[in-house]
Amino acid sequence: MKKSISTIIKHSSFSKINRSANPAVVRASTILFDSMQELASHEKKILLDKPITHYAYGRYGSQTTIELQKIVKELEQAHHVFLHSTGFGSVSLAFMALCQSGDEVLVGDNVYYPTREITEKLLPKYNIKTKYYDPNNIKDLESKITKKTKLIFVENPGSITFEFQDLIEIIKLAKKNNIITAMDNTWGTPLYFKPLLLGFDVSISSATKYFSGHSDAMGGTLAVNKKTYSKVKFCDKLLGSRLSADEAYLIIRGIRTLDVRLKAHYENTTKIVNFLKKQKKIKEVLYPHKPGSKNYKMWKKYYTGATGLLSVLIKAKSKASVLKFVNKLELFGIGYSWGGFESLAIYHDVSKSRNFYKFEKNEHLVRIHVGLEDSKDLIADLKNSLKYIK
């Protein structure tokens, strides 16, 4: 029977070990074998990529992480999924595994700030050069491709500024020039967009966000196609970033309701966006909501849904008054990360980490995560705080 993904994420990984509806949390470093021969044959199975129920050593994972790998593999329609202790662990592995000395990488100008730090500060140590491309201009990307370009790293939509790119055009250019493509897909999750099915070689999600969904666990997933599997496997093993069984358990528990939660985030966000776009103090809502806009068209072309993260562009003479707007919100917590059940707001100054995004004078960005609270309460809270903006 062909099952829908909503069913798969609920039913996958029913435990055969303890008969509970959920997998057991298997914490282990040492794994015991009956004999040296059994150990050797197990190692051989792993080497040949045969299906296994457990690893030979805890660093590579446990029964619990294998269950999470299975679920994410279905979600991503991947050849294989690697798990890491944070989303950022997955991002850095992509660069370390896919590039080497002498290579060039092309990175969207609007990537998550720590990703930019890797390319600015870590990759030069290994003689890998980064060029940033304008996410709103495919010609700019094309003009920066050289014979040395090994990887194009895309984050879609862009961090904080939420530009949506014409992804298939990027893939076409990459294929033509024999370049590997990786996408950070944390915003949309593989429920709403599957990068590998479109033609990306690598798809990354911070499992800390919507997969876990409860702001109490961290993890990262890196899904690969056949072409990149061996390269990534090699580095994944040697760099030693491992997801614990406890975090894997929490992420599995979160993923069970990914579809239901995302639908609720989307419904709430639509209501909040409809309120925000009518506010005079808000110049623009950075979210795919205007049918005539490029961002909306590109979102519609690739995604089957939208999630709860957006930014508002505020025009105000006083930065202090925008900070006050954020501080006075009662239901929106101030803090990093997002994707949990709760609403968040944070002031971001991205002007120093962008080459292409042009800020006008007196423009301020506040990033908002719309949680699962009652939207009427959230709107009342926003309305109350907006009055502080001057």
Ligand X SMILES: *Cc1c(COP(=O)(O)O)cnc(C)c1O
Binding site for ligand X (CB under 6 A): 86-88, 91, 112, 155, 159, 184, 186, 206, 208-209, 218, 220, 337
Cβ distance 287 to 251 under 8 Å? no
Active site residue 253: no
Closest contact distance (angstroms) between CB of 154 and ligand X is 11
Calpha distance 161→365 (Å, rounded): 8
Q: Apex CA 146: angle with CA 140 and CA 152, to 5°?
A: 65
Q: Which residue is nearest to ligand X (CB)?
A: 87
Residue 299, phi then psi, degrees to nearest 5: -65, -50
Catalytic residue among 10, 55, 103, 112: 112
Is the CB of 194 or the CB of 209 nearer to ligand X?
Answer: 209
Q: Supply the minimum distance, in Å, between the C-beta of residue 21 and ligand X.
A: 27
Spatial distance between the Cα atoms of 339 and 341, rounded to a whole number of angstroms: 7
From residue 129, alpha-carbon distances to 101, 107, 203 in Å are 9, 10, 22
User: In this complex, which beta carbon is closest to ligand X, that of residue 115 or of residue 268?
Assistant: 115
**242 catalytic residue (yes or no):** no
Judged by CB, which is closer to ligand X: 213, or 381? 213
Find the shortest distance in angstroms from Cβ 157 to ligand X: 9
**What single string gives the DSSP state of each residue in 328-366?**
H-SSSB--S---SSS-EEEEE--GGG-SSPPPPTTEEEE
The neighbour count for residue 241, using CB atoms within 10 Å, is 18
Identity of the residue, 130 or 375, whose beta carbon is nearer to ligand X in the bound complex: 130
Catalytic-labelled residue, pool 103, 109, 184, 381: 184
Is 216 in the active site? no
Catalytic residue chosen out of the listed positions 59, 172, 175, 387: 59
| Residue 112 annotated to the active site | yes
How far apart CA 350 and CA 265 sit, in angstroms, is: 25
| Token pair in block for residue 67 | 């269950």
**Minimal distance in Å, beta carbon 379 to ligand X?**
25
Provide the minimum distance between the beta carbon of 330 and ligand X in the complex, in angstroms, as a whole number: 25
- Comparing CB distances to ligand X, the nearer of 218 and 389 is 218
Amino acid type, 29: S
The active-site residue, picked from 116, 209, 354, 367, is 209
Catalytic positions: 59, 112, 184, 209
